[in-house]
């Protein structure tokens, strides 16, 4: 069987702004096909917007690899000199990976002195004081950032619409473990959940409420995940039925301005492209889209808040 990295692109570089200098840095995202316990459990429902598990299943059934170190070595050898950050994306929770294996390749990052930050994401119930301290201690000279997909501070939206099954008690406990261990928490906020005929205004309010709650719990970063459509998701079904419309770019600009003006912490904007490739992303009329997308890319790459105040004129203005 073919090696996984000879069949699939197992890493890519994304441009990310440095929160202290506004200088653009390279983040290498390495794909490790672990998958998600939530999506793999037939008794559960995968998060309503997510189609990653289908890709992970395809990768594992059509290619091979010895262990994750093999993938990491292959991808780091291609890109190592160019990068300042490494993000491990597993299509689920990093802490699902076997303890010995994850400790081994986190420690391996010490071989790359130019890499100053390591990033991964996990469900909050998997975070313990022991496992985050264990990982933190293996990279004493690097920043460790851990993302949690809270998505919404509204219990109904988070657990019924997104099917996350995350209680605030579990989330808040995980946040305390991260902060006490010297780990920087990043919280994903999903903007415009897959609710029938939800307006952009309602989506902005939910996002701002979630941002406030997350910073109150000690978040260092917020990353806005603006709804886009991927196949093999409940959200895709809603979209095909004409009951879900992606955000306008005007709304994303407004949200960014209001979130940044809270002056509570770092607001990041996730890219609208991903793996698997979306079939629909936030957009406007088509005439002004490129101006907005360029503005958003500049913000992502610099975190310069002044960029978001750019005035764009178009007849589709809301």
C-alpha distances (whole Å) from 169 to each of 4, 97, 217, 225, 277 are 39, 24, 11, 23, 34
Residues in Cβ contact with 12 at an 8 Å cutoff, skipping those fewer than 6 apart:
28, 29
Q: Which residues pair with 26 in a beta bridge?
A: 15
Q: What is the pLDDT of residue 42?
A: 52
pLDDT tens digits for 255-304?
A: 999 999 999 999 999 999 776 788 899 999 999 999 999 999 999 999 99
**pLDDT higher at 38 or 42:** 38
Rounded to 5°, the CA angle 234-172-175 comes to 95
Max avg pLDDT among 9-23, 49-63, 67-81, 196-210 = 196-210
Backbone angles phi, psi at 185, to 5 degrees: -85, 135
Q: What is the pLDDT of residue 79?
A: 77
**pLDDT band with cut points at 50, 70 and 90 for residue 47:** low
Q: What is the pLDDT of residue 50?
A: 57
Collapsed DSSP state (helix, strand, coil) of residue 237: helix
Mean pLDDT of the 205-212 span: 98
**pLDDT band with cut points at 50, 70 and 90 for residue 232:** confident
Give dist(CA 181, CA 131) in Å, integer.
10
Instruction: Determine contact, residues 135/126, Cβ cutoff 8 Å.
Output: no
Q: What is the pLDDT of residue 125?
A: 96
Give dist(CA 216, CA 15) in Å, integer.
28
Asked if the model's pLDDT at residue 43 lies above 70, the reply is no
Buried b (16+ CB within 10 A) or exposed e, 125-135: ebbeeebbeeb
Asked if the model's pLDDT at residue 51 lies above 90, the reply is no
The pTM for the full model equals 0.91
**pLDDT higher at 7 or 127:** 127
Largest pairwise CA distance in the chain: 57
pLDDT tens digits for 83-134?
A: 999 999 988 899 999 999 999 989 999 999 999 999 999 999 999 999 999 9
**pLDDT band with cut points at 50, 70 and 90 for residue 1:** confident
**pLDDT higher at 287 or 59:** 287
How big, in percent rounded to 5, are the helix, strand and coil portions of the chain?
45, 20, 40
Q: What is the pLDDT of residue 46?
A: 55
pLDDT tens digits for 160-207?
A: 999 889 999 999 999 999 999 999 999 999 999 999 889 999 999 999
Q: What is the pLDDT of residue 37?
A: 67
pLDDT tens digits for 240-269?
A: 999 999 999 999 999 999 999 999 999 999
Q: What is the pLDDT of residue 231?
A: 83
CA neighbor of 44 nearest in space, from 180, 143, 151, 164:
164
Alpha-carbon dihedral 144, 150, 151, 157, rounded to 10 degrees: 180
**pLDDT band with cut points at 50, 70 and 90 for residue 48:** low
Continuous H helices in the chain: 4-7, 37-40, 52-62, 68-79, 99-108, 129-138, 155-156, 168-180, 200-216, 234-240, 249-261, 289-302
């Amino acid at each position: 069987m073919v090696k996984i990295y000879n069949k699939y692109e197992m890493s890519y570089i994304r441009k990310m702004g440095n929160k202290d200098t506004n200088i653009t840095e390279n983040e290498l995202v390495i794909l490790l096909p672990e998958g998600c316990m939530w999506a793999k459990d037939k008794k559960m429902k995968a998060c309503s917007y997510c189609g990653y598990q289908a890709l992970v299943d395809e990768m594992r059934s059509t290619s091979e690899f010895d262990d994750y170190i093999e993938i990491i070595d292959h991808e780091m050898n291609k890109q190592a000199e160019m990068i300042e950050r490494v993000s491990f994306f597993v299509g689920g929770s990093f802490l699902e990976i076997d303890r010995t294996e994850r400790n081994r390749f986190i420690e391996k990052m010490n071989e790359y002195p130019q890499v100053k930050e390591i990033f991964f994401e996990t469900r909050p119930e998997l975070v313990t004081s022991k496992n985050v301290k264990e990982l933190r201690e293996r990279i004493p000279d690097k920043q460790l950032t851990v993302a949690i997909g809270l998505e919404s501070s509204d219990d109904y939206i988070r657990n019924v619409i997104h099917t996350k099954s995350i209680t605030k008690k579990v989330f808040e406990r995980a946040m305390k473990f991260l902060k006490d261990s010297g780990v920087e928490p990043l919280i994903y906020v999903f903007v415009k959940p897959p609710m029938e005929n939800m307006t952009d205004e309602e989506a902005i309010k939910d996002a701002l409420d979630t941002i406030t709650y997350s910073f109150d719990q000690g978040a260092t970063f917020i990353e806005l995940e603006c709804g886009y459509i991927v196949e093999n998701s409940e959200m895709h079904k809603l979209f095909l039925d004409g009951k879900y419309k992606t955000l306008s770019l005007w709304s994303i600009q407004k949200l960014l301005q209001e979130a940044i003006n809270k002056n509570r912490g770092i607001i990041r904007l996730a890219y609208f492209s991903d793996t698997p490739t979306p079939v629909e992303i936030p957009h406007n009329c088509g005439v002004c889209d490129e101006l907005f997308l360029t503005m958003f890319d500049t913000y992502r790459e610099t975190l310069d808040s002044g960029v978001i105040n750019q005035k764009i004129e178009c007849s589709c203005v809301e």
